């Protein structure tokens, strides 16, 4: 990090401060709606950028790039789910927006009953600690540890390393502007952070291709690589020649121990539906829109941006593998020596260090500062968004249920205090994350989500598309599904080496388990609903597809036109094109 790099980072913080200050001047935080939903006044551009920036956390820069370096395109299915977001815009969003709810548990409470609302709230809060808070902070800490190992603080006999300094500093800063400015500050700073993230990560991809393309590696035609376009050919050739073609492919056999294609497709579909269509962390941004038209277009814009992570993170990870495999020298230093490790005596790559190493090695002065700013932007954006979502869930679905007569000042205070508590819980979980991420940070994230998502998706789909689903069905589906999911998580962590059926259950493929858990959760919902009384039809208006009045249908139809249809078709076409290309992208590369 040179002076100009630090100037880039400080410049980013300066712009952030200006945006937060401007947001506060424009809208004062006087009520819970101002703090949690930005006064429902946000436009589509800010919503789309916020969806992207909130989703692109440090776990992508570290974990997803690491997955690309160690497993190629195996994790790309979760990144190609832009079409699921299109489904959110057309299927789920009208119900959420027109119901006027502030949280997803509140929607479930209206559809089924308050007990279902309580259960979903508590599980959602626990899931945020297990996944989003801990993983985001951990990935940011790894980045700081790799990028700035010299950053230390000595207090007496105790030395605080850059791992903990980076984690705590960014969390505190994100917490400050999230709690002070509310969702408005989060959303409008996300516009800036989206630009920084895109510019920073694209520069890593570009310079990595440049160095790989000028590495002098001999191509199949006998010519030495000498251009950026040759870099892509070198990447494919390296993957094939190193024997990693099967490992780096998009689809794997059904018997693959980690990424069987059917299990991956089902798990990515279920997790994607949960995350993009039912999770408070994401949906809350759409509820802040000034109208349904802006909400839908914001989601569609976000789905377009969501298509990019494969090229922003997975591809750089694979490029890092190729640079490492070919022992490419950059600036007189062999690339990747610090990310080499021995596994059973065999030289292997430490995937979670690939992206920070690329930033250190391939980027010139100035660009390195942009990427570090982008890393901080990704970390702070995800954390700030998470803080706002957690405080919304706790305040609206727990505190106000216990204290319905609380004033707006009290609501705002409780929302801000919640941020502090959840952050501390996430930091306490960090050591556990370090112990159980042996398969890679991003794989840990997807595994845990695949254990928690299926029952939530089953209940939401039943609520929207089956009039017979009732309170008993929702509680049975959520409780039964969560119990099975947590049971699998415990077995995986503690009994993977055990014998007998316990060991077999612990080793059962996580992604196949996600599909099985979804089916079982749906069965729980159906059986419990059919065994109990029929729900009151008068309560289902505007909450179920078969109970819509003409006013709802008319207003929904007026909220979209040909622009929204074309945008949706374009995003779906991009996803289909990507699948077609990457299905056989290594063909002929030998």
Query: Rounded to whole angstroms, how far apart are CA atoms 201 and 194?
Result: 11
Asked whether 314 and 93 are in contact (CB, 8 A), the reply is: no
Say how far apart CA 361 and CA 145 lie, in whole Å.
15
Query: What are the C-alpha distances in Å from 160 to residues 107, 136, 167, 184, 432?
Result: 44, 20, 11, 34, 19
pLDDT on residue 58 = 62
Residue 566 lies in a domain: no
DSSP assigned state of 568 = H
Q: Has residue 46 got a pLDDT over 80?
A: yes
Q: Dig out the tokens for 400 from the structure.
A: 């106000």
Instruction: Assess if residue 386 is contained within a domain.
Output: yes
Domain annotation covers residue 297: yes
CB of 20 closer than 8 Å to CB of 181 = yes
Averaged pLDDT score across all residues of the chain: 82
Count other C-beta atoms under 10 Å from residue 153's C-beta: 11
Asked if 33 and 288 touch (Cβ cutoff 8 Å), the reply is no
| pLDDT (average), residues 129-156 | 70
Closest CA to 397 of 370, 381, 418, 378: 418
Determine, yes or no, domain membership for 111: yes
Has residue 146 got a pLDDT over 70?
A: no
Q: Which alpha helices (DSSP H) does 395-470 contain, by range?
A: 400-402, 408-436, 441-465
Q: List pLDDT tens digits, range 391-443.
A: 888 888 888 888 888 777 787 788 778 877 776 766 676 666 555 554 455 56
CA distance 312 to 61: 8
Measured CA to CA, the distance from residue 150 to residue 194 in angstroms comes to 29
Q: How far apart are CA 97 and CA 104, in angstroms?
A: 11
Q: What pLDDT is recorded for position 408?
A: 74
3-state secondary structure 236-279: HHHHHHCCCHHHHCCCCCCCCCCCCHHHHHHHHHHHHHHHHHCC
Q: What are phi and psi of 589, to 5 degrees?
A: -90, -10
Number of H helices, E strands in the chain: 29, 6
Residue 551: is it exposed, middle or buried by C-beta count within 10 angstroms (0-12/13-18/19+)?
A: exposed
* Look-up of token digits 């024997």: 243
Can you read off the two tokens belonging to residue 589? 């590369």
Q: Is residue 45 part of a domain?
A: yes
What contacts 238, CB < 8 A, 6 or more positions away? 217, 321, 322, 325, 326
Q: In the chain, what percentage of residues exceed pLDDT 70? A: 85
- Please report the pLDDT score of residue 300 as a whole number: 95
Q: Is it the case that residue 147 has pLDDT exceeding 70? A: no
Instruction: Quickly count: other Cβ atoms within 10 Å of residue 364's Cβ.
Output: 12
Helices assigned H by DSSP within 88-227: 93-99, 104-111, 114-128, 134-147, 162-213
Of residues 31 and 560, more confidence is placed in: 560
In a domain, 260, yes or no: yes
* Chain-centre distance for alpha carbon 340: 27
Helix (H) or strand (E) holding 334: strand 333-334
Could you tell me which residues come within 8 angstroms of residue 176 by beta carbon, excluding any fewer than 6 positions away? Answer: none
Instruction: Say if strands 329-330 and 333-334 run parallel, antiparallel, or are unpaired.
Output: antiparallel
The half-sphere exposure of 140 on its side-chain side, counting CA atoms within 13 A, is: 33
* Closest alpha carbon to 384 in 197, 178, 194: 178
Question: Which run of H or of E encompasses 325?
Answer: helix 315-325
φ, ψ of residue 328 in degrees (nearest 5): -65, 135
Picking from 285, 326, 266, 258, the residue whose alpha carbon sits closest to that of residue 182 is: 285
What CATH number is associated with residue 176?
1.20.1730.10
How do residues 434-488 score in pLDDT, each as one tens digit?
A: 555 544 555 666 667 778 889 999 999 999 999 999 999 999 999 999 999 888 8
Q: Is the pLDDT of residue 90 over 90?
A: yes
On whether residue 125 sits in a domain, the answer given is yes
H or E element at residue 155: strand 153-155
Stretch 226-231: mean pLDDT: 84
> Contact, 544 vs 463, CB < 8 A?
yes
Q: Which of 18-27, 167-176, 341-350 comes out lowest in average pLDDT? A: 341-350
Count structural domains, the chain: 1
- pLDDT for the residue numbered 373: 78
Q: Which two tokens stand for residue 270?
A: 């279920």
Q: In the predicted model, is pLDDT for residue 312 greater than 50?
A: yes
In which domain, by residue range, is 392 found? 3-265+292-437
Distance of CA 469 to the CA centre of its chain: 30
3-state secondary structure of 326: coil
Residue 198 belongs to some domain of the structure: yes
């Amino acid at each position: 990090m040179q002076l100009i790099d630090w100037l880039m980072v400080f410049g980013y913080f300066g712009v952030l401060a200006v945006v937060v200050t401007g947001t506060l001047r424009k809208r004062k935080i006087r009520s819970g709606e101002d703090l949690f939903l930005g006064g429902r006044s946000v436009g589509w551009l800010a919503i789309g950028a916020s969806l992207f920036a909130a989703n692109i956390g440090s776990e992508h820069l570290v974990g997803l790039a690491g997955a690309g370096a160690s497993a190629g395109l195996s994790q790309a299915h979760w990144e190609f789910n832009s079409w699921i977001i299109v489904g959110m815009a057309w299927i789920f969003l009208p119900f959420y927006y027109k119901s006027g709810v502030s949280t997803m548990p509140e929607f479930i409470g209206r559809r089924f009953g308050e007990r279902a609302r309580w259960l979903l709230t508590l599980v959602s809060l626990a899931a945020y600690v297990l996944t989003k808070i801990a993983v985001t902070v951990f990935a940011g800490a790894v980045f700081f540890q790799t990028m700035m190992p010299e950053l230390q603080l000595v207090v007496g006999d105790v030395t605080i390393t850059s791992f903990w300094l980076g984690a705590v500093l960014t969390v505190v800063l994100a917490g400050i502007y999230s709690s002070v400015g509310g969702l408005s500050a989060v959303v409008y700073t996300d516009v800036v952070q989206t630009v920084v993230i895109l510019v920073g990560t694209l520069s890593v991809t570009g310079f990595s291709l440049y160095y790989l393309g000028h590495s002098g590696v001999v191509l199949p035609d006998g010519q030495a690589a000498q251009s950026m376009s040759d870099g892509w050919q070198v990447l494919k050739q390296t993957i094939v020649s190193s024997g990693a073609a099967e490992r780096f492919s998009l689809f794997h056999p059904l018997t693959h121990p980690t990424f069987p294609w059917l299990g991956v497709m089902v798990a990515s579909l279920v997790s994607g539906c949960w995350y993009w269509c039912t999770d408070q962390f994401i949906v809350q941004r759409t509820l802040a829109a000034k109208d349904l038209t802006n909400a839908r277009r914001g989601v569609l814009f976000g789905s377009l941006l969501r298509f990019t992570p494969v090229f922003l993170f997975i591809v750089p990870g694979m490029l890092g593998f190729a640079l490492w495999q070919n022992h490419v020298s950059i600036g007189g230093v062999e690339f990747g020596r610090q990310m080499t490790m021995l596994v059973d005596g065999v030289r292997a790559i430490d995937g979670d260090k690939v992206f920070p190493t690329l930033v250190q090695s391939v980027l010139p002065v100035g660009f390195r500062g942009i990427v570090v700013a982008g890393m901080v932007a990704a970390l702070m954006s995800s954390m700030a968004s998470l803080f706002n979502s957690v405080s919304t869930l706790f305040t609206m679905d727990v505190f106000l249920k216990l204290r319905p007569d609380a004033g707006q000042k009290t609501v705002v205070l409780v929302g801000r205090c919640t941020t502090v508590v959840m952050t501390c819980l996430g930091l306490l979980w960090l050591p556990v994350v370090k112990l159980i991420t042996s398969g890679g940070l991003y794989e840990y994230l997807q595994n845990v989500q695949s254990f928690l998502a299926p029952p939530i998706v089953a209940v939401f789909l039943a609520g929207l598309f089956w009039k017979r689903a009732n309170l008993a069905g929702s509680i049975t589906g959520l409780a039964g599904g969560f119990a099975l999911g947590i049971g699998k998580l415990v077995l995986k962590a503690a009994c993977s080496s055990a014998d007998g059926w316990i060991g077999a259950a612990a080793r059962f493929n996580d992604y196949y388990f996600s599909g099985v858990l979804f089916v079982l959760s749906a069965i729980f919902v159906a059986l419990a609903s059919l065994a109990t009384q029929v729900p009151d039809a008068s309560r289902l208006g505007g909450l179920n597809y078969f109970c819509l009045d003409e006013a709802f249908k008319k207003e929904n139809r007026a909220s979209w036109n040909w622009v929204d249809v074309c945008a949706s078709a374009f995003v779906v076409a991009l996803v289909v094109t990507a699948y077609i290309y990457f299905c056989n992208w290594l063909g002929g590369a030998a």
